[in-house]
């Protein structure tokens, strides 16, 4: 088949990337491709069309008749006149578009959107069927040796295509009006009747929670790609479907429900400094970070402009680029998106579509705002007065609604969902506990959410899940929640003073999955930003555990986060002692020389600097033994951030001073602090 292959999953709805057959294509190839294309369209007869049933059926029927015509020509080996080839070429292009349109009309999850775009869809059907009629009008049937019966069928299709009345189905129009009336009620602050909502969903054959959730996911995808003028209407439809999902469906069909959102969020917790998210060229937040051959990372648009200008060296290091390949840094991209999601930072740029959560600080439309307020009150009520199943569903709904929408979080918090969610943490039901802690994780990203959690005694409840949670997933989510709560300076002390917190996080690092280990490390990092917690973290045996992760893990992000925590602990004397006693300098040196992460290199330098500052000449002597360290430090002074460069210069100065003192015969000074340590 000569039609270009196209991934239906990636194709935007109502975008028809049809390819016109080239002029040199052989008639036999064109005919064969038309037959295959017509058969593909015929297969849509078995697909479900929630709307546009008559128009879809008629288009499939007409092309099915033409398929008989094409097969007649093929089977008899007829030679096509030149005008017929031109006609078939036009039909091929049109059939591709019809196939795309039928694909859209039967697309899973797009039923409400197709309904509300009925006028546009009807216009497309009308245009394409008229194009078929025009192509058939110029088809030289009389000069083609086909049987009279087939000729009559083709002429009939041409006549019907010319005169076809392609209009919106009256039932579709009635359903569309009902949706619009519900949106109007929302906008006026009036809750719609249950039966009206149920009628619309029944008409679209949205029968389960999962069916409804698919519609929401599709609308969210459209929202991401939409122009600003479409945002209010899409937001209103999203509010409509979310309200229906909460109010109409009492049962979660978990076999299809997406349970991975918490795991995904866990993956992107990090100790990275937000400054590491800026492009070295533009100094702006990177939207599409890519790595060049020197290991440096830039925003794609910035480095592409650099390369197009004819430059062949790395902008930051000055090294010659061995190639111009740009490797997507997907891990950093996830970290940046999570940072922006948590802080309401916009990632929008001219000509660049992205999931801009800053759009969600305010509701997309008045109807969406009122729908969210209504459904927030429903889930809050179910959390308190519902059955176990209703409480579980309400917690899961919050988990989804608060995932990437700041306005939703504020509505859910104002509706009073946090206190009952904290009560559900003590449930013996695994699913309820997992959904409750996951919902609290989402709400704790909001400033008011953090405050209400703490004011309602939620810290001990969350720590209880971290220590004694029913499942490992619940424990890992509790660690992630602690990380977000620890972003408030005053809460770090409160969390650290709970005796079980730090030992439980250390246990998670020991026993958890890579994701759990990462959450444990990052949560400890957040707590260790309060100086009073550092001794507790060290006493819990964290440093040997971190060194083991750094030495054995194959997860780069986990290693960098472990280095960040180690660098923080090294700032105090006992942290330095533990690092020196573990004879870890060779390991840190190896990471400094091998890691491609600029943050990782900076952490290594920070560890060395703290150890040499706190440990005196004895620590410096151990570092000075490895002559390769100096070249790595010089590299950081030129390639690293301003802060990393400053630290590296301070360390180089220390090493130079030590060498000068040693060469003058003064030897190395003993450990100047009260405590002595063996570092050999």
- Tell me the per-residue pLDDT of 88-144, one tens digit each, with 9 for 90 and over: 999 999 999 999 999 999 999 999 999 999 999 999 999 999 999 999 998 988 888
Burial of 383 (0-12, 13-18, 19+ CB in 10 A): buried
Q: How confident is the model at residue 5 (pLDDT cuts 50, 70, 90)?
A: very low
Which residue's structure tokens are 């400890």?
Answer: 524
Give the C-alpha separation, 422 to 46, whole Å. 49
Q: What was the pLDDT predicted at 359?
A: 64
Element (H, E) at 359: none
| Alpha helix (H) residue ranges in 226-344 | 231-248, 261-267, 300-308, 330-343
Token output for 162: 């010319």
Q: Are 157 and 164 in contact (CB under 8 A)?
A: no
The domain ranges of the chain are 27-168, 169-254+363-418, 274-343, 549-660
Q: DSSP 3-state assignment of 459?
A: helix
Distance CA 140, CA 117 (A): 37
User: Contact at 8 Å (CB) between 568 and 522?
Assistant: no
| Tokens standing for residue 299 | 């925003």
Decide: 480 and 269 in contact? Cβ < 8 Å. yes
**pLDDT tens digits, 336-366:** 776 776 555 555 443 344 445 556 778 899 9
Task: Using pLDDT thresholds of 50, 70 and 90, give the confidence band for residue 642.
Answer: confident
H/E element holding 86?
helix 82-105
> Would you say residue 668 has pLDDT above 90?
no
Tell me if residue 126 falls in helix, strand or coil. helix
- Give the model confidence (pLDDT) of 156-176 as tens digits: 999 999 998 999 999 999 999
Greater confidence, 66 or 658? 66
What confidence tier does 24 reach under pLDDT thresholds 50, 70, 90?
confident
Q: What is the mean pLDDT of residues 471-490?
A: 94
290: left (phi over 0), alpha (psi -120 to 50) or beta: beta
Question: What is the average pLDDT score of the chain?
Answer: 88
Reported as a pLDDT band with limits 50, 70 and 90, residue 270 is low
Query: The sheet that has 289-291: what strands, in order across it?
Result: 297-299, 289-291, 327-328
Q: What is the mean pLDDT of residues 231-235?
A: 94
Residue 372, pLDDT > 50, answer: yes
Enter the tokens of residue 647. Answer: 């630290």
Residues across the chain: 680
Cβ contacts of residue 520 below 8 Å, gap of 6+? 479, 505, 506, 508, 509, 512
Percent of the chain with pLDDT over 70: 89
**Beta partners for residue 298, in sequence order:** 290
Q: Which fold has domain 549-660?
A: 1.25.10
Place of tokens 């490390």: 521
pLDDT band for 325, please (50, 70, 90 cuts). confident
CB 276 within 8 A of CB 641: yes
Q: With a cut of 70, say whether residue 675 has pLDDT above it.
A: no
Q: Which of 51-55, 271-275, 386-390, 603-607 has the lowest mean pLDDT?
A: 271-275
580 burial class (0-12, 13-18, 19+ CB within 10 angstroms)? buried
Q: Which of 62-71, 279-288, 607-616 has the weakest average pLDDT? A: 279-288
Q: Which residues are 290's β-sheet partners?
A: 298, 328
Q: Which of 165-179, 310-324, 532-546, 629-643 has the lowest mean pLDDT?
A: 310-324
Give the mean pLDDT of 590-604.
91
**Residues 279-298, mean pLDDT to the nearest whole number:** 82
Q: Band of the pLDDT at 257, cuts 50, 70, 90?
A: very low
260 or 247, greater pLDDT? 247
Average confidence (pLDDT) over 275-287: 77
What is the C-alpha separation between 597 and 603, in angstroms, rounded? 10
* Residue of 380, 498, 521, 493 lying closest to 443 (CA atoms): 380
pLDDT digits (tens, 9 = 90+) for 571-584: 999 999 999 999 99
Task: Tell me how far apart the alpha carbons of residues 614 and 317 are, in angstroms, rounded to a whole number.
Answer: 32
Per DSSP, what are the bridge partners of residue 403? none
Does 617 score more than 90 pLDDT?
no
Residue 260 has pLDDT above 90, yes or no: no
- 160 contact partners, CB below 8 Å, separation of at least 6: 62
**Exposed e or buried b per residue across 641-674, where buried means at least 16 C-beta atoms within 10 angstroms of its C-beta:** beebbebbebbbebbeebeeeeeeeeebeebeee
Q: What is the DSSP letter of 512?
A: S
Q: Would you say residue 672 has pLDDT above 50?
A: no
What is the reported pLDDT for 271?
Answer: 66
Q: Which of 390, 371, 370 is nearest to 379 (CA)?
A: 390
Count the Cβ atoms, other than its own, within 10 Å of residue 316: 18
What is the rounded distance in angstroms from the CA atom of residue 153 to the CA atom of residue 155?
5
pLDDT of residue 264: 39
CA–CA gap between residue 301 and residue 604 (Å, rounded): 31
To the question of pTM greater than 0.95 for the whole model, the response is no
Evaluate whether the domain defined by 274-343 bears CATH number 3.30.40.10.
Answer: yes
Q: Between these two residues, 395 and 229, which has the higher pLDDT value?
A: 395
Which residues, 6+ apart, have CB-to-CB distance to 342 below 8 Å?
445, 484
Answer whether 274-343 and 549-660 agree in fold: no
| Cα 273 from Cα 376, distance rounded (Å) | 34
CB 242 within 8 Å of CB 401: yes
**Sign, Cα dihedral of 128, 130, 131, 135:** positive
As given in the structure block, the two tokens for residue 427 are 């449930």
Name the 3-class secondary structure at 347. Answer: coil
Least confident of 30-44, 64-78, 355-369: 355-369
Check residue 351 and give its pLDDT: 37
Element (H, E) at 300: helix 300-308
**SS3 assignment, position 18:** coil
Please give the pLDDT value at position 294. Answer: 81
Question: What is the rounded average pLDDT of the residues 657-663?
Answer: 81
């Amino acid at each position: 088949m000569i039609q270009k292959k196209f991934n239906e999953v990636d194709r935007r709805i109502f975008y028809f990337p049809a390819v016109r057959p080239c002029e040199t294509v052989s008639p036999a190839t064109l005919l064969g491709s038309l037959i295959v294309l017509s058969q593909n369209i015929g297969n849509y007869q078995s697909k479900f069309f929630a709307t546009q049933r008559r128009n879809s059926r008629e288009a499939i029927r007409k092309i099915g008749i033409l398929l008989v015509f094409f097969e007649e020509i093929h089977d008899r080996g007829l030679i096509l006149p030149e005008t017929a080839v031109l006609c078939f070429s036009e039909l091929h292009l049109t059939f591709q578009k019809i196939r795309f349109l039928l694909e859209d009309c039967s697309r899973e999850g797009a039923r409400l959107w197709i309904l509300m775009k009925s006028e546009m869809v009807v216009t497309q059907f009308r245009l394409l069927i008229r194009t078929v009629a025009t192509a058939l009008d110029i088809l030289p049937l009389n000069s083609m040796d086909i049987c009279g019966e087939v000729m009559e069928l083709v002429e009939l299709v041409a006549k019907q295509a010319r005169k076809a009345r392609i209009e919106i189905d009256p039932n579709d129009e009635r359903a569309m009006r009902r949706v619009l009336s519900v949106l109007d009620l929302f906008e006026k602050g009036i809750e719609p009747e249950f039966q009206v909502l149920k009628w619309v969903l029944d008409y679209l054959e949205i029968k389960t929670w999962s069916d409804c959730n698919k519609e929401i996911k599709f609308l969210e995808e459209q929202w991401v790609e939409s122009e600003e003028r479409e945002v209010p209407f899409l937001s209103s439809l999203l509010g409509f479907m979310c309200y229906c999902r909460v109010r109409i469906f009492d049962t979660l069909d978990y076999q299809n429900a997406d349970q991975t959102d918490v795991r995904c969020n866990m993956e992107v917790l990090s100790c990275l400094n937000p400054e590491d998210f800026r492009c070295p060229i533009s100094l702006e937040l990177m939207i599409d970070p890519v790595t060049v051959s020197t290991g440096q990372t830039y925003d794609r648009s910035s480095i592409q402009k650099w390369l197009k200008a004819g430059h062949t060296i790395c902008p930051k290091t000055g090294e010659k680029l061995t190639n111009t390949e740009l490797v997507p840094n997907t891990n950093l991209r996830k970290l940046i998106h999570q940072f922006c999601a948590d802080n309401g930072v916009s990632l929008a740029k001219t000509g660049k579509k992205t999931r801009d959560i800053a759009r969600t600080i305010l509701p997309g439309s008045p109807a969406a705002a009122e729908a969210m307020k209504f459904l927030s009150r429903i889930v809050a009520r179910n959390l308190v007065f519902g059955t176990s199943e209703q409480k579980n569903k309400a917690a899961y709904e919050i988990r989804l609604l608060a995932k990437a929408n700041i306005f939703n979080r504020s509505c859910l918090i104002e509706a009073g969902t946090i206190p009952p969610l904290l009560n559900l943490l003590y449930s013996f039901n695994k699913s309820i506990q997992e959904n409750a802690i996951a919902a609290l994780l989402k709400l704790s990203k909001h400033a008011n959410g953090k405050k209400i959690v703490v004011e309602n005694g939620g810290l001990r409840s969350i720590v209880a899940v971290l220590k004694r949670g029913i499942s490992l997933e619940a424990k890992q989510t509790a660690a992630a929640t602690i990380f977000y709560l620890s972003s408030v300076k005053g809460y770090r002390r409160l969390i650290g003073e709970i005796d079980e917190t730090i030992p439980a996080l250390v246990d998670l690092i020991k026993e958890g999955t890579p994701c759990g280990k990462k959450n444990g490390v990052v949560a400890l990092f957040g707590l260790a930003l309060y100086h009073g917690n550092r001794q507790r973290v060290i006493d819990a045996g964290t440093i040997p555990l971190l060194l083991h992760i750094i030495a054995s893990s194959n997860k780069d992000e986990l290693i960098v986060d472990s280095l960040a925590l180690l660098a923080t602990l090294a700032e105090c004397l006992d942290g330095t002692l533990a690092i020196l006693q573990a004879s870890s300098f060779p390991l840190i040196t190896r990471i400094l020389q091998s890691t491609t992460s600029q943050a990782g290199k900076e952490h290594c330098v920070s560890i060395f600097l703290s150890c040499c500052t706190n440990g005196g000449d004895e620590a410096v002597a151990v570092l000075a033994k490895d002559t390769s360290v100096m070249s790595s430090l010089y590299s950081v002074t030129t390639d690293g951030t301003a802060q990393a460069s400053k630290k590296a210069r301070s360390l180089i100065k220390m090493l130079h001073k030590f060498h000068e003192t040693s060469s003058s015969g003064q030897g190395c000074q003993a450990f100047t602090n009260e405590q002595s340590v063996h570092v050999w």
